[in-house]
Amino acid sequence: MEDFWKRFSRNRQAVLGLIILSIVIFVAAIANIIYPGDPFLYSKFPLSAPGENGFLLGSDSIGRDVASGIAHGAKTSLLIGLIATLAAVFIGVIFGAFAGYYGGIVDDILMRVTEVFQTIPSFIFAILLVAIMKPSIESVVIAITVVSWPAVARLVRGEFLGLKNREFVQACHTLGMSDIRIMLAEILPNCLSPIIVIGSLMVATAILIESGLAFLGLGDPNVMSWGFIISDGRSMLRVAWWICTFPGIAILITVLAINLVGEGLNDALNPRLRERN
Amino acid sequence: MTLNSFIKGALSAAAITMAGSFAYAQQAGGSLVFLVQPEPPTMAGYVSTSGPIGLLGPKIYDGLVDYDNDGKMVPMLAESVDVSADGKTITFNLRKGVTWHDGEAFTSEDVQFTIMDVLKKVHPRGPNSFKEVSSIDTPDDHTAVFNLDNPAPYMLRALSSYESPMVPKHHLEGQDVKTAKLANNPIGTGPFKFVEWKKGQYMRLDKNENYWREGRPYLDRIVGRFVPDASTRAAAMEKGEVLYAAYNAVSNVEAVRLNKEKDNIGLTTDGYSMINPMALIEFNTKEGPFTDAAVRRAISTAIDRQYMIDTIFFGYGKPATSALSSNFSATGLHAEMPNYPANGDVAAANKILDDAGYSKDANGVRMKATFDLIPYGEDWKRGGQYIQQVLGEIGIKVDLRYEDVPTWLKRIYHNYDFEMNLNYFYQLSDPVLGVHRHYGTNMIRKGTHFVNSSRYSNAELDALLSAGMTTPDATKRAEIYLDIQKILANDMPVVNLFELEFLVVYNTKLKGAYGSAMGAYASFGDAYLD
């Protein structure tokens, strides 16, 4: 662990990313304490500029606090990113593991299915899915999961293909271990690091997709998110620049931070890079 | 007799105005590109009164008459109107030499068919407007004689091309009017011919070279553009890509800014006087959480109407004080009623619900509901978000639902699959035309848009509505409508929120488009580019 941290911290940018990400997570965690109550709550002070009427980052057209929206939106964005990524990784690992381990006809079928999903542009596909289901937090998570898992499946399949003929796996066969046990207990732990890296980057993509959907009016109208604030404030950009600007910055730095952390994880976990150093 | 001479006077006055405008040589040619928001579901203005149809339909179809900004009749397809002394026979002398866009001649048979077989049957408001018309005689091709059971002075206010477009009999006869092909390939007698409808982009109309008005229209082409995004619409207006926007296509906040910053962009609230729009919430009174009038009264009491006007519509509007718009004060029909506090009273609303026995649970929730929002732009979305908050304060937790126009219309008016719905209705120039359709039992008409979707039915009210329709005496009529407003302030199948004041945002290059009381719903035959 100490070794891992040493390698991770060698990448300065990754450390910076981690600090920013920690701040975002912290803000999300204490959102209910610093801004108790509903972030949708209107006030009698619409379109206040930042600093006016006690609004740190201004208020929107019906007097909602932009800062409160960003704090509560952080929770939504991070949660959606995390849940959608976990679900995508779960599905992707199952598909990839079976395809890579068994090969042959199983591999053919599973990979053709994966390719069907991969051929559709992911954001368009997500819009389609949310439009068919009613826009809600669940449908957004499902849509992001559906468009994200194929990348994981392909990665895991490649790793399993490479590992399944290694000696330690053959030894397990000789010992009479079941296929499932070999996959779960022996091969999977050995390909965990690339999964963690791709997963961390997927969280960033998921946040972007969620914001994009909310921006197009396909977010859950009952849940505060960064994309929602931007979508609501966009028509007022010329009179109230702050409504769009601050959540936009929030998305930018969060996605950047997650990407930097992902890079750092890659450096720290990738054995080939380890040797090079 | 007085009615007769009044109308004659109005018509001749209008004729003089028209002759006057011929004296100036307006510049002919050019294309007018304007904003249509949202895209119309069809072009069947004889079936649906959906707002965007009105922006394009009256350019293609003519009415029997039009109305100028003072509300006076202007002859269109009818050159003159004669009303008999008892008010029960109305003769329209139709213009000669008018042809449909396909070349067929326009005759009195088309008028007869339009009123009796189309508007009276499938139009949302037609059954009310033409209720008293029992038959129409066509002694010759250019005379249509309306036979009425009772005098119906309001009918003469419902003859514009938006309200009652004249449609070609030869394209609808023997077909199901609601599904006829004409809906998407409109053929009228108007100044512009339908050419092309690129779904999701624009509708193009070209000049009708054979238009019955000499030298009209001035414009070669009208293009209605559909731009779903509000800021793109405002930018198009600012850059001069589009020259005209009405009915909130450019939001009030942007309209006020553009008017201030740009010399060539003007604002007016003219052109809506015959429309008389009212923002409101429709409730499902048959199923769901709002079957109890007390709950609906509580909602009406809680909402801060003035706040909605100030923040969402930037001050353009007036809080509702009754089921009738205050614009009916002119005819003495409007009276202020209780349960419509302009600034909202959350405490009083909570008390109404407490007294009615709806207690709050541990989370402060009395009941849950889904709130549908009219999909006509972001102002309405914000309005819905505000109301959601206020209802939260009185323990009604609502989820918002925002769908596309056809889905929403189907949900509310075909399937009644809703609980409460934010909307706006046109109260028009008389309650008979615009208000009766919300409340009358005879206006519960599945599949017809913008009628009594609440399915509210009250025999006492029905009797009063009938009386209001057929009573010519102004004082007696005021008494009848006072009773109507009292019943509705108590039962509230519909909660009126505020009287909308729409804006027209225009580029000063466009002239001649502002003379009709119908505003954006007029023909634009006189419009030209400077």
B253 touches chain A (CB under 8 A): yes
pLDDT of residue B160: 92
- Mean pLDDT, residues A107-134 taken together: 91
A53 touches chain B (CB under 8 A): no
Q: Do B389 and A41 touch (CB under 8 A)?
A: yes
Do residues B125 and B432 make contact, with C-beta atoms less than 8 angstroms apart? no
A131 confidence band (pLDDT: 50, 70, 90): confident
Tens of pLDDT along chain B (530 residues)?
344 444 444 444 444 344 444 445 678 889 999 999 989 999 999 998 888 999 999 999 999 999 887 778 899 999 999 999 888 999 999 999 999 999 999 999 999 999 999 999 999 889 889 999 999 999 999 999 999 998 888 898 899 999 999 999 999 999 999 889 999 999 999 999 999 999 999 999 999 999 999 899 999 999 999 998 888 999 999 999 999 999 889 988 889 999 999 999 999 988 887 888 999 999 999 999 999 999 999 999 999 999 999 988 888 999 999 999 998 887 789 999 999 999 999 999 999 999 999 999 998 999 999 999 998 877 888 899 999 999 999 999 999 988 888 889 999 999 999 999 999 999 988 899 889 999 999 999 998 889 999 999 999 999 999 999 888 788 899 999 999 999 999 999 999 999 998 999 999 999 988 878 888 999 999 999 98
pLDDT of residue B147: 96
pLDDT of residue B4: 47
Distance from CA of B262 to the nearest CA of A (A): 14
Cis omega (within 30 of 0) on the bond before A39? Answer: no
Q: pLDDT tens digit string along A196-205?
A: 989 999 999 9
Residue of B35, B37, B231, B305 to mutate, testing the A interface (most A Cβ within 10 Å of its Cβ) = B231
Distance from CA of A88 to the nearest CA of B (A): 28
Restricting to B residues 167-186, those with a Cβ less than 8 Å away from any Cβ of A are none
In the numeric block, the tokens 């009708």 are attached to: B208
Q: pLDDT tens digit string along A17-55?
A: 999 999 999 999 999 999 988 888 888 888 889 988 889
Out of A38, A61, A239, the one facing B312 most closely (by C-beta) is A61
pLDDT of residue A146: 95
Do residues B381 and A40 make contact, with C-beta atoms less than 8 angstroms apart? no
A273 confidence band (pLDDT: 50, 70, 90): low
Residue of B37, B253, B312, B370 to mutate, testing the A interface (most A Cβ within 10 Å of its Cβ) = B253
| C-alpha B255: how far from chain center | 22
Which of residues A267 and B391 earns the better pLDDT score?
Answer: B391
Rounded Cα–Cα distance for residues B115 and B134 (Å) = 10
pLDDT of residue B20: 41
How many Cβ pairs closer than 8 A exist between chain A and B? 56
Residues 6+ apart with CB under 8 A from A9: A15
Residues 6+ apart with CB under 8 A from B394: B298, B299, B302, B346, B349, B350, B353, B366
Out of A40, A62, A234, the one facing B231 most closely (by C-beta) is A234
Pick the residue from chain A with its C-alpha nearest to B230: A235
Out of A44, A62, A217, the one facing B312 most closely (by C-beta) is A62
**3-state SS string for B332-382:** CCCCCCCCCCCCCCHHHHHHHHHHCCCCCCCCCCCEEEEEEECCCCHHHHH
Rounded Cα–Cα distance for residues B53 and B69 (Å) = 21
A135 CB neighbours in chain B (<8 A) are 402
A41 touches chain B (CB under 8 A): yes
A272 confidence band (pLDDT: 50, 70, 90): low
Pick the residue from chain B with its C-alpha nearest to A63: B311
Out of B230, B388, B401, the one facing A235 most closely (by C-beta) is B230
pLDDT of residue B1: 38
Restricting to A residues 222-251, those with a Cβ less than 8 Å away from any Cβ of B are 222, 232, 234-239
pLDDT of residue B253: 85
Q: Which residues of B16-54 are buried (b: 16+ CB within 10 A; e: fewer)?
A: eeeeeeeeeebeeebebbbbbbbbbbbbbbbbbbbbbbb
Distance from CA of A16 to the nearest CA of B (A): 36
B385 CB neighbours in chain A (<8 A) are 40, 42, 62, 221
B250 touches chain A (CB under 8 A): no
Q: Which residues of A244-272 are buried (b: 16+ CB within 10 A; e: fewer)?
A: bbbbbebbeebbbbbbbbbbbbbbbbeee
Do residues A58 and A52 make contact, with C-beta atoms less than 8 angstroms apart? yes
Q: Do B392 and A237 touch (CB under 8 A)?
A: no
DSSP string for residues in A189-231: HHTHHHHHHHHHHHHHHHHHHHHHHHHTT-S-TTS--HHHHHH
The radius of gyration computed from the CA coordinates of chain A, to the nearest angstrom, equals 22
Distance from CA of A120 to the nearest CA of B (A): 23
B234 CB neighbours in chain A (<8 A) are 235, 238
Which of residues A29 and A135 earns the better pLDDT score?
Answer: A29
pLDDT of residue B25: 60
Out of B253, B389, B399, the one facing A236 most closely (by C-beta) is B253
The radius of gyration computed from the CA coordinates of chain B, to the nearest angstrom, equals 23
pLDDT of residue B18: 43
pLDDT of residue A83: 95
Rounded Cα–Cα distance for residues B293 and B458 (Å) = 13
Residue B437: what residue type? R
Q: Dig out the tokens for A161 from the structure.
A: 């293909």
pLDDT of residue B11: 44
Rounded Cα–Cα distance for residues B512 and B530 (Å) = 10
Rounded Cα–Cα distance for residues B160 and B57 (Å) = 11
B346 touches chain A (CB under 8 A): no
Q: pLDDT tens digit string along A150-197?
A: 999 999 999 999 998 899 999 999 999 999 999 988 899 888 888 998
For residue A125, which phi and psi values (nearest 5 degrees)?
-65, -40
Rounded Cα–Cα distance for residues B346 and B343 (Å) = 10
B234 touches chain A (CB under 8 A): yes
C-beta atoms surrounding B407 within 10 Å: 11
pLDDT of residue B82: 93
pLDDT of residue B379: 84
Cα distance from N-terminal residue to C-terminal residue, chain A: 17
Restricting to B residues 286-315, those with a Cβ less than 8 Å away from any Cβ of A are 307, 310-312
This model of the complex carries an ipTM of: 0.74
Q: Do B231 and A235 touch (CB under 8 A)?
A: yes
A234 CB neighbours in chain B (<8 A) are 230-231
